Amino acid sequence: MDHISHMICEQFEAAEAEKIYENMIEHIEKVVIIKTLEHSCGNQIVAARLLGLHRNTLHNKIKKFRIDVGRFKK
């Protein structure tokens, strides 16, 4: 929780007020995707299923957030 509070304070300093919500949601979404990819050992189909997303949607989000899926493969 402290991590999130700290991020909110940074957002107030770094962005306009209307961007704070969007930035926080994107940060949380990225963290959830990374954790799910770790859990699935980089298997995007399994990760998409766990997240309730279509695999193409997950692939687009991985590209958007510039996540290196290779680092999760074992």
- The CATH number linked to 61 is 1.10.10
Tokens linked to 72: 């999760």
- Summarize the confidence of residues 40-67 as an average pLDDT: 98
User: Which DSSP helix (H) or strand (E) runs through 52?
Assistant: none
Host domain of residue 21: 2-72
Q: How confident is the model at residue 17 (pLDDT cuts 50, 70, 90)?
A: low
Task: Decide: residue 70, CB within 10 A, 0-12 exposed, 13-18 middle, 19+ buried.
Answer: exposed
Count the Cβ atoms, other than its own, within 10 Å of residue 36: 20
36: Cβ contacts below 8 Å, ≥ 6 apart: 47, 50, 51
For position 14, what pLDDT does the model report?
A: 56
| Domains held by the chain: number | 1
For position 66, what pLDDT does the model report?
A: 98
